[in-house]
Chains A and B, each alone.
Chain A
């Protein structure tokens, strides 16, 4: 027995490739943030509020990435998220500003759209066995096109559109004052918005679902080995369908948070968002082949992509397209890392 325990301990010390990926991600985030503090210290990068702003601007992305992680765990992918956000934002903005519908019915409507969207995509992927990429690509163009069908103009949400929505979006939740710093005249207390709380709540719930429910574990099993999962008597098709529904629903929640942040609806909104979400998940250690990935990792992935954007914006001189390029480059790098790890693992087992 003692030997057994010793063996287990020895095994515990060995860091598996997947944990190493997560470690690299966290270190990368720390390094990037530290570099930002050093280079842009004068521009206020060191303030705690900068970090909180990171969360505020990326609350929507956080939700979407959680959904994306679930889909990617099954070995699939969902590239319709960016367009779905644009469509949802347009429904909210156009509904409130031009059609004067209340915020709450609209939010419910948006959530229903998320469910329907997910059901259709999930059905085509799991029961019709069409490649997820083709299905969600069609979803992507459908969403973008529907946005234009609703309204081709840019619509802003103002105080007049919906007071409730406006109030929610602008609510500040102050953190304890000692975290603040002295501004020019008065104490500046760091704050977050309700969106951050919702996003973090979503993260926690999804993390718990993945760890402690049968549904969550089946997602991992499907990604690990689909035919094995079938052999073990798990309902693979249903799990996949549910994953896509979950992705679209979380995307709708993300869209509401995103809308509270931007307060507009426009056809070109959230362009390339699918890329950010996929990049965040992959950077956070989710394998493209499925079966491996954690919400914690995806959280740090979002922080990294967010930091890239913030750094590019803080610089001020760099073009905004740099953040796209850097995210893509980082995604490329992590895909490379994944391939190398997979190669090493294959050689080790051979």
Chain B
């Protein structure tokens, strides 16, 4: 038994799974109703389903964010804003410029979603070019889009919230008719499978880690470090695009001020909770995804406890600081020193 535990402790998924269990335990004691799942109007219903459903955007963002963190030891803080821009860009194609509320769309839904994702990709290209080619610190580079993307989104929507009151548009963010599982969960599974396929079938994962650990040595091995870095930012942008379209479909509108709000924090937290070092290098995609759902579980729990969405970031900020402090080499060596000192003291007593 002890052996199993020790092996598990070494597993990279140790931290995310423990965190997840911790959050679930808190809920179990507070309100066992958290775990009940029912069927209402032909669709699944319950808190757990809610966590999986609402956590979709964070999970999708975490896929891109994990790569960015691994390759550049920095984070993309523009993802939330890019989500908003993608949502606005996609919706404008469907509603036409300046219309606040439509009941039918002027273009195929698929085209709108595609355009939205492309907007995300373009943002990723801009970030990638700044970081990989101009060597700007990742966070300063993405800070530009962090403010600008949301503003551009507002421009596209003529400073209004455009509603699309057209049933099929709601499918992506809610339910397909006849399917009891919320669509975002399905999309997330699709994205995760896609990501796993890319990591399994191509050597991108190896390249990303190699560049993140030692970009000079990687270059000598024949890897184009700049290109790999650029690709990661583009993937991150595309993920933000997908997440943005889901968020938009959920509320069947393009609300540039609120879509993706504080999601950059959640996605970074997901990566950190997933046991990935924010200093780059090795990454673990599964950890990030478990981390993403843990974050959502925390959020849901907080909301259930009566904390408002605006207040939740306080708790998350404290968790982030705690995790990065534990990860910090300075802190680790300090702990190590204390441990050996204690040991020595013990031996001295004996």
Q: Name A residues whose Cβ lies closer than 8 Å to a Cβ of B.
A: 77, 79, 124, 127-131, 133-135, 137-142, 144-149, 152, 267, 272, 274-275, 278, 288, 319-322, 324-325, 327-329, 331-332, 335-336, 339
Contacts and interface: CB of A to CB of B under 8 A. Distances in A.
Interface in B292-320: 308, 310-318, 320
A207 to B, nearest CB: 24
Interface in B131-158: 134-137, 139-141, 143-148, 150-152, 154-155, 158
Interface centre among A267, A328, A329 (most CB of B within 10 A): A328
Contact of A319 (B154, B308, B330): B154
Contacts of A331: 144
**Main SS class of interface, A:** helix
Interface in B4-47: none
A329 B137 CA distance: 17
A324 B147 contact: yes
B131 to A, nearest CB: 11
B218 interface: no
Contacts of B146: 275
Q: Chain B's interface: helix, strand, loop or mixed, by majority? A: helix
Interface of B: 74-75, 77, 130, 134-137, 139-141, 143-148, 150-152, 154-155, 158-159, 262, 265, 268, 278, 308, 310-318, 320-321, 324-325, 328-331
A124 B159 CA distance: 39
Given A141-B262, A275-B147, A328-B147, 11 more contacts: A128-B328, A133-B74, A134-B268, A134-B324, A137-B320, A152-B310, A275-B143, A275-B146, A288-B136, A320-B159, A324-B147
Given A321-B151, A328-B147, A328-B151, A144 B313 contact: yes
A321 B134 contact: no
Contacts of A149: 311, 314
Given A133-B139, A319-B154, A335-B130, A148 B147 contact: no
A142 B313 contact: yes
A319 B160 CA distance: 11
B139 A128 contact: no
Nearest to A289: B137
A137 B268 contact: yes
Contacts of A325: 148, 151-152, 155
B320 A138 contact: yes
A145 B278 contact: no
Contacts of B77: 133, 137
Nearest to A82: B147
Contacts of A275: 143-144, 146-147
B282 to A, nearest CB: 18
